[in-house]
């Protein structure tokens, strides 16, 4: 087939644009492999849906996705969850820059941080809460805090917004290896749940209508089927049933453990806003009733266990173990390389009479309120080393507002102690 000379320039232009798009797509896919979903555009969209203002500053090798929060008396502050992010090439540059204080003064990353702080000042935010990935990035942030000749303070936040320690399983291994590396009790509980007849089903938001009213559906015996081959309307109805079950179980679990869960509308908005392929509800059904449920998020090369809930009944059938295992198998099938179980609390395992630290082995911190969930998660791979972060830090933009905030925090802590 031959093209006229008049059309050739258009063909060349189309090919050029396609090649640009192709290489940009490859670049973004590589970038997304290790990108934290809390720094994604989708997460900002969800936060906006629950009424929060968001901001994003991005350039080559750098990303800061920011969510605005507000507190009584002190007003607004900014939160950069698991960020700012420095991508692979930028991290290499950081290591050399940190060792040379003169280089950091001219760093593009300092320029970007200046922009964030200037914007925070313009928006009247009292402080910016950041969560650096490593001690190196934290040190870089400290070195870059001189703005317009004034050295801004960066201090440890009074509490961590995200867990300082998370448990991430390498799921590139075959299923037999993953099973063999579990604690025997975990492997036994997975098989016990299967033997008892626990069925696992997963649905995503096939329709943007997750708030359908299904009266009394949770209390009736439901024959929940695999939604893969269901018509869209029926799949949407089952997905709504599973959401209502998750919300019901979340309330039961919160009451059982004396904790405060997110409001129902938070979860509804999450299901409505995040893309269907990004978020799934996993439910465990036993004898026609949903007895446990998880929310699992898929992003880049990582599947993340976001929230889980189980009821007060049929706890001996070990449904939560099978729920996690099915999510891991699905993540593998989708090409994920990591399964993030979320937060845990561990200590170094002491060895010998002197109690020397074995840096390769950590065990559950029995003094933590998270000891139960930590035992559960570590059972899936007890020899995997947890991922640790420096924690949450505050860049003080307005010292007066921040002073009031910390004063109120200390007063709150004293009240809690007094009540005990």
Q: What does the pLDDT look like over 406-417, one tens digit per residue?
A: 999 998 888 877
pTM of the full structure: 0.81
Report pLDDT digits (tens) over 259-295.
Answer: 888 999 999 999 999 998 899 999 999 999 999 999 9
C-alpha to C-alpha distance for 270 and 406, rounded to whole angstroms:
31
CATH number of 165-388, picked from 3.90.1150.10, 3.40.630.30, 3.40.50.300, 3.40.50.720: 3.40.630.30
pLDDT at residue number 220:
31
Provide the mean pLDDT of the chain. 81
pLDDT at residue number 141:
87
pLDDT at 171 > cutoff 90: yes
pLDDT at 138 > cutoff 80: yes
Report yes or no: 278 and 271 within 8 Å, Cβ to Cβ.
no
Most confident of 215-219, 243-247, 312-316: 243-247
* Closest-CA residue to 141 (of 94, 210, 72): 94
pLDDT at 218 > cutoff 90: no
pLDDT at 25 > cutoff 50: no
pLDDT at 232 > cutoff 70: no
Domain spans, the chain: 33-162+391-419, 165-388
Confidence at 359, pLDDT banded by 50, 70, 90:
low
**Could you tell me which residues come within 8 angstroms of residue 54 by beta carbon, excluding any fewer than 6 positions away?**
44, 47, 48, 65, 66, 67, 68
pLDDT at 297 > cutoff 60: yes
pLDDT at residue number 384:
95
Higher pLDDT among residues 248 and 150, named by residue: 248
Same fold, 33-162+391-419 and 165-388: yes
C-alpha to C-alpha distance for 115 and 190, rounded to whole angstroms:
50
CATH architecture of 33-162+391-419: 3-Layer(aba) Sandwich (3.40)
Any idea which residue has 């009944």 for tokens?
313
pLDDT at 18 > cutoff 50: no
pLDDT at 179 > cutoff 80: yes
Across the range 7-35, mean pLDDT stands at 47
Across the range 215-225, mean pLDDT stands at 30
pLDDT at residue number 145:
78
pLDDT at 58 > cutoff 80: yes
Report pLDDT digits (tens) over 307-320.
Answer: 999 888 888 999 99
What b/e string do you get for 69-107 counting C-beta neighbours within 10 Å, with b at 16 or more? Answer: eeeeebebbbbbbbbbbbeeebbebbeebbeeeeebeeb
Could you tell me the CA-to-CA distances from 48 to 51, 66, 264, 304, 383 in Å, in that order? 5, 11, 16, 21, 39
Share of the chain above pLDDT 90, in %: 56
Could you tell me the CA-to-CA distances from 254 to 261, 264, 365 in Å, in that order? 6, 13, 22
C-alpha to C-alpha distance for 83 and 131, rounded to whole angstroms:
5
Helix (H) or strand (E) holding 388: strand 387-388
User: Other CB atoms closer than 10 Å to residue 212's CB: what's the count?
Assistant: 14
């Amino acid at each position: 087939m031959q093209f006229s000379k008049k059309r050739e320039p258009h063909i060349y232009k189309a090919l050029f644009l396609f090649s640009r798009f192709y290489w940009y797509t490859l670049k973004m896919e590589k970038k997304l492999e290790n990108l934290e979903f809390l720094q994604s555009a989708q997460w900002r969209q969800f936060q906006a849906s629950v009424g929060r203002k968001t901001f994003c500053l991005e350039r080559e090798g750098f990303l800061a996705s920011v969510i605005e929060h507000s507190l009584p008396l002190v007003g607004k502050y900014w939160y950069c969850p698991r960020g700012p992010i420095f991508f692979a090439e930028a991290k290499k540059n950081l290591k050399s820059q940190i060792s040379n204080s003169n280089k950091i003064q001219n760093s593009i990353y300092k320029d970007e941080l200046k922009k964030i702080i200037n914007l925070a000042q313009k928006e009247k935010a009292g402080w910016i809460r950041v969560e650096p990935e490593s001690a190196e990035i934290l040190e870089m942030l400290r070195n870059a805090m001189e703005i317009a000749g004034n050295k801004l303070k960066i201090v440890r936040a009074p509490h961590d917004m995200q867990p300082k320690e998370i448990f991430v399983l390498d799921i590139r291994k075959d299923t037999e290896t993953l099973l063999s590396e579990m604690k025997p009790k975990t492997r036994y509980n997975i098989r016990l749940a299967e033997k008892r007849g626990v069925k696992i089903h997963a649905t995503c938001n096939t329709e943007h209508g997750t708030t359908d009213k299904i009266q009394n559906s949770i209390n009736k015996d439901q024959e929940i089927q695999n939604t893969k081959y269901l018509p869209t309307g029926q799949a949407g109805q089952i997905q709504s049933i599973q959401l209502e079950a998750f919300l019901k179980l979340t309330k039961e679990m919160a009451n059982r453990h004396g904790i405060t869960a997110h409001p129902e509308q938070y979860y509804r908005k999450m299901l409505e806003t995040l893309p269907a392929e990004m978020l799934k509800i996993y439910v465990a059904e036993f004898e026609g009733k949903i007895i446990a449920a998880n929310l699992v998020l898929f992003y880049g090369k990582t599947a993340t266990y976001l929230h889980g809930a189980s009821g007060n009944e049929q706890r001996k059938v070990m449904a939560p173990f099978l729920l996690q295992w099915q999510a891991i198998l699905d993540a593998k099938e989708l090409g994920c390389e990591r399964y993030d179980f979320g937060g845990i609390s561990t200590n170094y395992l002491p060895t010998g009479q002197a109690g020397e630290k074995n840096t390769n082995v950590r065990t559950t911190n029995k003094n933590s309120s998270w000891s139960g969930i930590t035992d559960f998660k570590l059972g899936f791979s007890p020899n995997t080393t947890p991922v640790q972060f420096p924690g949450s830090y505050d860049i003080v933009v307005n010292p007066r507002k921040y002073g009031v905030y910390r004063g109120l925090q200390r007063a709150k802590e004293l009240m809690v102690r007094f009540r005990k």
